[in-house]
Structure formats: C-alpha cells, structure tokens
Amino acid sequence: MRANTVIMIVLAGVFGVLAVVLANIWLANQRSAMARTEDVQRDTVVVAAVPLKFGDTLSADKLREVAWPSGAVPTGAFKTTKDLLEGEGTKQALQAIGTNEPVLATKITGPGQRATLSAVLSEGMKAVSIRVNDVLGVAGFVFPGDRVDVLLTRTVRSDEGVDKSFVDVLLQSVKVLAVDQVADESKDSPTVVKAVTVEVSTKDAQKLTLAAGAGQLSLALRQAAASKGETTERITLSDLTGDTPDDVAKRQAELAKQAAADAAAAADRKRADDKLAGLAQAVERVGNKLDDLSKLKPAPAVAAAPQAKEIVKEEVKYVKPEPPARATVGVFRGIKLETYDVPRQK
C-alpha cells in the first residue's frame, strides 16, 4: 500500500473524530442554554391577537396573553386581559397595533373614552387644521403620524412700491394627526385632501392661525427618522434668478413705466380719433346747410282781394331772387377746419 494512501486514511479518521467531539460540545452548550432559559422568571403580557387600527373596540377575542420575561415587560403593558378590559365602558385603539404586539396603555383609550384626536394629543399640545390642495398637500402622500415642515409664501409691497415675494419655513417636524377626517395611521393609500390637522404647541397654533391669513401655507414631507430641526433661511426671487433685490426692483419699475407709457399713447390716439370724427361731422353739417340754401325758392306773391267798387287789373310776375353776394368756404389745415367769408362768383 502506498504511503500517500495511508496518510489520507489517517487524516480522515482524525477529522472524523474531531467532528464528533465538536458536535458533542455544541449539543452540550445548547442543552445548557435551554436549561438557563427555563430558569428565567417569566410573566404574562397581553398582545393583539388580530391587527387593530384606530378606533377599533377592544374585546377578549381580539386579545391574548403570552409569556414574557419578567425583566423585559414594556412600560404600560397589561398582564391579563381582565386587567386591560376592566372598568366601565369599552376601550378603543388610538393607533395601529400589529398581531402579537403588546397592547400598551398609551395606545388605547381609558374606560368609556372615545377614540378621538383629543385622546391622541400629547400633554400641552393643540390640534390645528391647515387648508391644502393636491399640490400644497404633497399630492396626498401625507398620512397620519408623518412629520412635515410648514412653509409660508408671502408677497409684500416694498417702500419703492414694488411687490416682493419670499418663502419662510414657519414650523419644522410637525406631527400630522389626521388628513381630512381620517386619523388612522394604518392608512397607506394616497388621497388628495382639503385639510391636514397637525399637533403643535399653543404658540405655534397662534402662528399657524395668523399665517393662514397672511399668505399661502404648504407642506414639505420629512424623512420618517428626521425629527430634528435644521437651519433655514428666507428664499426670495433673487435666489431663483441670481439677481439682487435692487435688480429685480429696477426691472419691475421699468416694466411699470413702459406700461404707463403705452397707456398714455393709447389715450392720445383715442383723443385724436375723437377729434377727427367731430371734424368730419362738422364738415358734413356745413355741406348739408349749403345744399339747403342753394335749393331754397322764394314764396309766391298773393294777389290782393278785388275791391267791390273798383276793378283793378294787376299783373303778377315771378322774379327770381338774386344769389347771395358772399359765400362761406371751409378749408382743412391738417386736422383743423378754418372757414372764410369770400365774394361769390357770378
């Protein structure tokens, strides 16, 4: 038998024995760990047996008790279902609770208390609604429980008479309590809403109420984990175009001056047109009067009544009147009408 073959057989035997030894050591450790786990003191905690959402009424069939290490019981947890449901009236969920998630006192209402926004508000906080649309409300992607920044857009008149627009970050990391009349945090489908209700302090509630009448409010959705504020600054039109405020004001003043000049020119043209129309009517009236004078005929003479005592024979002749010796002539000099009294040619 070759030496290489003998060496391979020996090595295989050594590795096999080593594997058996390591397996026995691992099994022994597992048995020891299980023994130590069984020695840990346990307690019970009430968890949700089915998924719960905002406003769901709690009952025994929706809850169950599970074993829980005594040293790791969450604050506000209930040990038994009886403890959770005790008291007059029913209890409701204030936020979404998943299956096998511990039911805490902060996530449910008190006995007989309704699941309303007043029950969700933190101590010292107020609920204020903001009117939005499909754009200002982040296209309906803001849900209860999200954090948003509130932006205020305003346009004010400067001392030079020029309108200046700017945007300020009014509030940061504001918690959304409800969209329209829905406060369920488990809602996950985007919906275009008309109002968003947020949780703010009393002073911030005053700011929002005043800002609603001073300009236009809009929302900026924050990252779920970004709850800290950040340094912000006012954004103006000059930040969009790169111009300075003086450049923007000068350009707006030039536009206003050009608009005033155009309006003045239009008014002058209208006055000139009115004068021309008046002169044309005057010339037409003069021409009509001259035509009437040229067509005028003398009235026929009336014979006197015959006398009874004496018969007088009279001869009546029609005499054509002499044309007028002078005539009035109108001459236009530019747009001005001048009249002259000149002798009439025979």
Q: Give the class (CATH, top level) of 42-107.
A: alpha beta
User: Is pLDDT larger for residue 237 or for residue 107?
Assistant: 107
Distance (Å, whole) CA 92 – CA 56: 5
Mean residue pLDDT across the chain: 78
Q: Both tokens of residue 320? A: 């054509």
Give the model confidence (pLDDT) of 198-240 as tens digits: 888 999 999 988 988 888 888 888 876 666 777 888 887 777 7
d(CA 132, CA 314): 107
If we measure between CA atoms, which residue out of 137, 117, 136 comes closest to residue 127? 117
CA distance linking residue 286 with residue 282, whole number of Å: 6
How far apart are alpha carbons 242 and 187 in whole angstroms? 42
What pLDDT, on the 0 to 100 scale, is given for residue 206? Answer: 92
Chain centre distance of CA 345: 83
Closest to 144 in 3D by CA, of 103, 180, 110, 173? 180
Q: What is the pTM of this model?
A: 0.46
Spatial separation of the C-alpha atoms in residues 47 and 62, rounded to whole Å: 9
Report pLDDT for 186: 56
8-56 pLDDT per residue, tens: 888 888 888 889 889 988 888 887 766 665 555 678 888 998 988 877 8
Q: What is the DSSP letter of 93?
A: B
